[in-house]
Amino acid sequence: MRDWGLRCCMLLLGCWSLAALAEPALLLVNDLTQAPDLSSAAPALATGPGRETVKAWTRAPHDHLQWVELRLAQDWHRASPPLLAVGGALAARVVVHAPPDYRAILKTRYENDLDPGFSRRATIYRLPSELRSDQPIYLAIGQPGQVAKVWASIDDIDSYRATDLGFVRANTFFISVQFSMLLVILCFWLILRDRVFLHFIAYDLFVVLYAMTDSGEFYSLPGAGWFGQFGFHLPQSVSALGAAFSIWFIIEFAELRSNAPRMARWLGFMRWPFFALALATWMSFLRPALWHSHVLNHLVVVATGLALASTWVAWRRGNRQAGFFLLAWVPLLSLLMLRVVQLIAALPQPAWLEYGFPASMAYAAIVIAVGLADRTLQARIERDRAAHMAQTDPLSGILNRRAITQRLEEAWDDASVKALSVLFLDLDHFKRINDNFGHGAGDACIVAVADAIRAEIGADDSLGRYGGEEFVIVLRDQDAAATARVAERIVERVASLAVHVGKRAITFTVSIGHALRDASVGSARELVENADRAQYQAKRNGRNRAVAFRTLQARQIESEHVNE
């Protein structure tokens, strides 16, 4: 287990170190107020010096295209050719005009024929090997507007591949963890059929789907390229559905309806705006690109705060699953809030947030899966406790009449049991104990007798309280002689007991009848009746003794009645 964890840590460190190998070229960036003249094969140099950066961040207003000019700070002299990478939460079209011919090139991460040598973290444009600092590159961003900032950088192919490889490894690892948890919980549901597992499956399925559509890797899967025609609409819709189903899951998993009912109603209401947003994404006449992500992000902020508050209340009120939820989702929701704030404020996305968010989603999936397993374990413990209470005499802690009868019938039907005998035990003069010392003293005597019997029987034998002061003992694989010895030992042990009530010590005895299964006994019930008849004979013979059932005596014993 420790080696496995060490390998995972080394993999993640490797991903981050690979990401740190690449150092994009220094760029001069200008935001243009109007479209440049692209008629010339070599457009004129911009008048302004431009701001210096290695990663240009920009966005587009809703009403017109935003033109951005990129230039190298110095001529390209690296060994491998340069390439332009454009990425971010893209909703708009990004048209690139690059030397030498400055023809319009439009690529999106949703296409299925992109360069297979790179991930879809960004769209890649190959540039001339002799790119000079006086050769600008133009980006036309818009149609519709771009609410979140997009980034552009120029890097050599070798360095970018190293960075891209780290991203692919990390992203594949995190998605694989989530998908594995999804399969585990699916197996749980197939066996247990618990509805909360279905809520987790729906929620986690949309989370995995969103991670793959947002990164673009979904569209490279066989047959998934067809979905690329929907562009940003698919990840936006999936993210809204993921939020809705996550609320459904939280309410069920943390049992909020019983632990925080008012907050559960408020949180439950939040599902419907998310479903509405998922539907609105596909209604082009509503122009969702201009407002959808803003509304979605603000709703996520509200729902996140309400989810944390309600589960905190449920946890403080003793709900175990709410604690698992907080443990799983506090890191995830913290990073989610930072991601939403970054998008709302149109801030650049730092690298640690790019990797931290999917990492926290994978971590949350693992903890929630453990929480679901714990929920199943708790349900099993409660079921076993209920079954135990249904079979146990609450006073003495031994089996009740129904349970001891069931044990006897199971032993009767068990072909591996070669010999089967029953002892029927009754306290002598028990009514006098209750009358003289009270029912509390009588209860204490019953508990003492149960403890004494348990000390004399084996682990495979069964003891139950048949009713009042009567006990039934089922012995497996004991012949007549061994059964008689057990009965005698119980008689002697009980006779030596002294139950103290106040300053007085109560002594008492028992009478036992025992019967062995043979060809004349037709059922388990008849075997108990035979032992009971023998117990009546023990009473008749003077009590404080054990008597074996004799078939020829049955009619005579049954006709007599012994006063207690």
The per-residue DSSP string of 271-310 comes to HHHHHHHHHHTT-GGG-GGGTHHHHHHHHHHHHHHHHHHH
The tokens for 350 are 């730092």
Amino acid at residue number 140: A
Give span(s): CATH 3.30.70.270, the chain. Answer: 401-558
Is pTM beyond 0.85? Reply is no
Q: How many CB atoms lie within 10 A of CB 13?
A: 10
Task: Choose among 151, 121, 89: nearest CA to 19.
Answer: 121
Q: What distance in Å separates the CA atoms of residue 513 and residue 533, rounded to the nearest whole number?
A: 7
Give me the pLDDT at residue 346, please: 64
Digit-coded pLDDT (tens) for 19-77: 444 468 899 999 888 888 887 655 555 556 778 888 888 877 776 788 999 999 999 99
Give me the pLDDT at residue 444, please: 92
Burial of residue 440, with CB atoms counted within 10 A of its CB: 0-12 exposed, 13-18 middle, 19 or more buried? exposed
Q: Which residues pair with 206 in a beta bridge?
A: none
Give me the pLDDT at residue 144, please: 67
CA angle 292, 297, 302 (to 5 degrees): 130
The tokens for 22 are 């690449």
Give me the pLDDT at residue 562, please: 46
- SS3 for 363? helix
Q: What distance in Å separates the CA atoms of residue 514 and residue 421, rounded to the nearest whole number?
A: 7
Q: Which residues pair with 513 in a beta bridge?
A: 424, 547
CA angle 74, 79, 83 (to 5 degrees): 65
- Residue 396's alpha-carbon distances to 276, 442, 448, 514, in angstroms, are 60, 12, 8, 22
Q: What distance in Å separates the CA atoms of residue 189 and residue 490, rounded to the nearest whole number?
A: 50
Q: What distance in Å separates the CA atoms of residue 548 and residue 564, rounded to the nearest whole number?
A: 20
Give me the pLDDT at residue 560, please: 53
Give CA torsion, residues 107, 108, 112, 116, to 10 deg: 70
Give span(s): CATH 2.60.40, the chain. Answer: 2-162
Amino acid at residue number 472: V
Q: Judge contact between 68 and 138, C-beta under 8 A.
A: yes
**How many CA atoms within 13 Å lie on the side-chain side of 229?**
2
The H or E element that residue 249 is part of is helix 233-253
Q: Which residues contact 406 (CB under 8 A, 6 or more apart)?
A: 391
Selected from 1.20.1070, 1.10.1420, 1.10.10, 3.40.50, the CATH number assigned to the domain covering 170-384 reads 1.20.1070
Give me the pLDDT at residue 40, please: 61
Q: Which residues contact 404 (CB under 8 A, 6 or more apart)?
A: 462, 463, 464, 465, 466, 472, 474
Give the residues of the chain that fall short of pLDDT 50.
1-22, 552-555, 557, 561-564
Give me the pLDDT at residue 16, please: 40
Q: Yes or no: is domain 401-558 CATH 2.60.40.10? A: no
The H or E element that residue 6 is part of is helix 2-21
Task: Choose among 138, 116, 119, 117: nearest CA to 127.
Answer: 138
Q: What distance in Å separates the CA atoms of residue 329 and residue 362, rounded to the nearest whole number?
A: 11
The tokens for 356 are 């931290």
CATH architecture of the domain 2-162 equals Sandwich (2.60)
